[in-house]
Homo-oligomer: A and B are copies of this chain.
Amino acid sequence: MKLKQNTNLSINYPVCFERDIFSMPVKPFWFDLTKADEKADAIFYVDENVMNLHSKLECQISEFVNSFSGISKFKIKTVLPGESLKNDFSSVMKIVDELVEEKLCRHSYVFIIGGGATLDAVGFAASITHRGIRQIRIPTTVLSQDDSAVGVKNGINYKNLKNLLGTFYAPHAVVCDSNFLTTLSNRDWIAGVSEAYKVAVIKDADFLNILIQNAEKVTSRDMDFMEKLIQRSAEIHLNHIKNGGDPFEMGSSRPLDFGHWSGHKLEIMSGNSLRHGEAVAIGIALDLSCCVELEFITEADAKPVIEGMKRSGLPVWSELLEKKADNGLEIIEGLQEFREHIGGTLTLTMPKPLGTQTEIHDLSEEVITNALNRLKHLVK
């Protein structure tokens, strides 16, 4: 005898784009996030660096909570900055301990304020406590606002493997505040732009043209342009999750990972001296060059994109691309590692033509080597 379970989990959450989210009077969007008749406890976890850079943040949060009807008891805690928290299993378990000690339940709120790594690590802790406490994710970097924070993944590094432990968990809400971007270093401001290029290349030719035509607005730190870039990039990421029909990637659904097979590898090869966004930019440039080799696009298509990234301040080449391993180029090991991370058959998403995507299941050493030579020639 066989029974079948066949049901749906409805995934609904808003992604808000605001400025000065904790300023007084309480901004209207907050009231949409909570039920009028419900008061819940909350803990705010803030990346230590963000807290130091925004000296008034702690006061602002306190003032906000005291004026806001949706929250009763609250605490504010700082956590290790960025990736150092994701690498520290015991600090993540300390967050679990705090959630328990403060008696948070599944209807309480965990506010997470920081970049992608902070959101990933605190989000993981909150998602396994009581099988998931409501998370309000407040990304503070370009990369997290335009890419990682808007989705349903969290995770921590474990046994030196990136994102080895993690869950799929839908946030209660994502709130992007461009005010946090003002304190980013130029390097971090620029690095996150590569994820916008990533989605534009495979999903939206118009957006890609806007990115190329306004490349200098990135280096000049034009906030209006950056806000638009983030919103459109976030929108494409949300639509990808929505339309993929497999938000938790249980089947063969692919994350938006154009340029990432070599990007991930470059990050590791550089000993993390390359930022994720920077490594991805180089990965995008390499994959564009591969697509020219594969005749998916022409060199005339690829060149303006690579130059646009360059004018935005993004790196499009690294000496590491030519580093030799025992059996050829070390970068090529990234293909196998990428397959292992996702599981199943190797699948790479590539543009064909620009603004649309196709999937390939093989990328030969010959294509990669030729693409590297072409890219080197293009960028010199």
Contacts and interface: CB of A to CB of B under 8 A. Distances in A.
B10 A4 contact: no
Interface string A1-19: 1111111111111111100
Nearest to A105: B343
Nearest to A104: B343
Contacts of A132: 167-168, 248, 250
Given A97-B159, A100-B161, A130 B4 contact: no
Nearest to A339: B105
A164 B343 contact: no
B165 A343 contact: no
A249 B5 contact: no
Given A16-B1, A161-B100, A166-B131, A7 B107 contact: no
A136 interface: no
Contact of A128 (B8, B38, B165): B165
Contacts of A161: 100
A359 interface: no
Given A166-B128, A167-B167, A8 B5 contact: no
A324 interface: no
A11 B10 CA distance: 10
A344 interface: yes
Interface string A98-137: 0010010111100000000000000010011111100000
A3 B146 CA distance: 12
Interface in A57-94: none
Interface residues of A, number: 65
B3 A15 contact: yes
A54 interface: no
A10 B105 contact: no
Nearest to A252: B107
Given A10-B245, A132-B248, A159-B100, A107 B344 contact: yes
A170 interface: yes
B167 A127 contact: yes
Interface stretch (A208-216, A234-242, A360-368): A234-242
A241 B7 contact: yes
Nearest to A342: B106
A124 B29 CA distance: 36
Interface of A: 1-17, 29, 38, 96-97, 100, 103, 105-108, 124, 127-132, 150, 153, 155, 158-159, 161, 163-168, 170, 231, 234-235, 238, 241-243, 245-250, 340-344
